[in-house]
């Protein structure tokens, strides 16, 4: 079976590129010159975990479990069956919503990408980034989502509520689009009770690099760092238009959004 435990993760989260990553100087200079708007989210310390509507759970590289199993042992922490059932229940409800709102008459696979936050940093056991102080549920094996994956048929395009994807690769069944957290996705995840990385800022790159609040967050060890994702031009207007359109054509979404 292609997604049985021990097999390779079929849809890995792409490797992040830093401003100081070797070989990226030209790209960094171009980004500084263009000075576009970026989303700023927290860089979490933990272990990569992905959950699919096809019923599998994976670490960064390997399938480690499937729906219906008992307690999952992962990197020294036990993820209890009821927690796994809750995660799968949430992702199935999210997929049902997307069928109504974004992908009518389209068969697709949905993947949640995130980090499993363990005690302290998840590596040393030291409470360095204050996860347990900021959220008492963290440090006990909580899954925090930082993006989604959508395996869509080859002739299907992403809706404009997902204005930026960071990966678009051919795969079995079509193409796998990987979309990081954006304001629209954040609202939807919040409604379905899926913990996710908050957006700390939406600013031009020059403003981000000189934002004292963001810089002090790192200096004072309130967090390890930030993840920046470029936003398309005029995307804010598109998201607002999309939300209004969904309220008109989908009463279910309208009711949900009023409760967010």
Say yes or no to pLDDT of 138 above 50. no
Name the pLDDT band for 259 (thresholds 50, 70, 90). very low
pLDDT (0 to 100) of residue 242:
43
Locate tokens 């990987």: which residue? 178
Distance, CA of 175 to CA of 149 (rounded, Å): 10
The pLDDT of 102-116, averaged and rounded, is 90
Residue (of 240, 148, 143) closest to 185 by Cα position: 148
Looking at the domain that runs over 29-258, which CATH code has it been given? 3.30.470.30
Q: Is the pLDDT of residue 109 over 90?
A: yes
Tell me if 59 sits within 8 A of 6, measured CB to CB.
no
Q: How many CB atoms lie within 10 A of CB 47?
A: 19
Mean pLDDT of 207-229: 84
- Looking at the predicted structure, is the pLDDT value of residue 243 above 50? no
Please tell me the number of Cα atoms within 13 Å of 256 on its side-chain side. 21
The yes-or-no verdict on residue 257 having pLDDT over 60 is no
The 10s digit of each residue's pLDDT in 159-208 is: 777 767 777 778 877 888 888 888 888 989 998 889 998 888 888 988 98
- Percent of the chain exceeding pLDDT 90 equals 18
Does residue 68 come out as left (phi exceeding 0), alpha (psi in the -120 to 50 range) or beta? left
The rounded mean pLDDT for the chain is 77
Predicted local distance difference test score (pLDDT) of residue 119:
56
What pTM was computed for the model? 0.78
Spatial distance between the Cα atoms of 96 and 241, rounded to a whole number of angstroms: 22
Confidence of residue 108 (pLDDT cuts 50, 70, 90): very high
Radius of gyration of the chain (CA): 19
Q: What is the pLDDT of residues 11-62, one digit of tens each?
A: 998 877 666 666 677 877 888 888 888 888 888 878 889 999 999 999 999 9
> Which tops the pLDDT comparison, 113 or 26?
113
For 73, residues 6+ apart whose C-beta sits below 8 A from its C-beta are 79
User: 11: which 2 tokens?
Assistant: 């849809």
252 pLDDT higher than 50:
no
């Amino acid at each position: 079976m292609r997604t049985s435990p021990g097999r390779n993760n079929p849809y890995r989260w792409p490797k992040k590129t830093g401003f100081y990553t070797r070989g990226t100087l030209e790209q960094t200079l171009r980004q500084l010159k263009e000075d576009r708007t970026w989303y700023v989210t927290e860089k979490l310390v933990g272990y990569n975990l992905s959950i699919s509507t096809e019923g599998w759970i994976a670490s960064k590289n390997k399938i480690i479990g499937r729906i219906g199993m008992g307690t999952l042992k992962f990197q020294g922490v036990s993820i209890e069956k009821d927690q796994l059932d809750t995660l799968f229940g949430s992702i199935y409800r999210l997929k049902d919503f997307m069928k109504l709102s974004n992908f009518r008459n389209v068969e697709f696979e949905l993947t949640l990408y995130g980090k499993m936050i363990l005690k302290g940093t998840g590596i040393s056991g030291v409470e360095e980034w204050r996860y347990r102080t900021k959220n008492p549920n963290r440090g006990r094996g909580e899954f925090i989502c930082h993006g989604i994956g959508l395996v869509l048929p080859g002739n299907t395009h992403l809706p404009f509520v997902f204005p930026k994807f960071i990966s678009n690769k051919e795969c079995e069944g079509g193409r796998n689009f990987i979309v990081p957290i954006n304001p629209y996705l954040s609202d939807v995840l919040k409604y379905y009770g899926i913990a996710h990385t908050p957006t700390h800022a939406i600013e031009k790159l020059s403003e981000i690099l000189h934002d004292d609040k963001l810089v002090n967050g790192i200096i004072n060890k309130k967090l390890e760092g930030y993840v920046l994702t470029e936003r398309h031009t005029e995307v804010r207007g598109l998201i607002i238009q999309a939300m209004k359109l969904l309220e008109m054509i989908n009463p279910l979404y309208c009711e949900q959004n009023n409760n967010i």
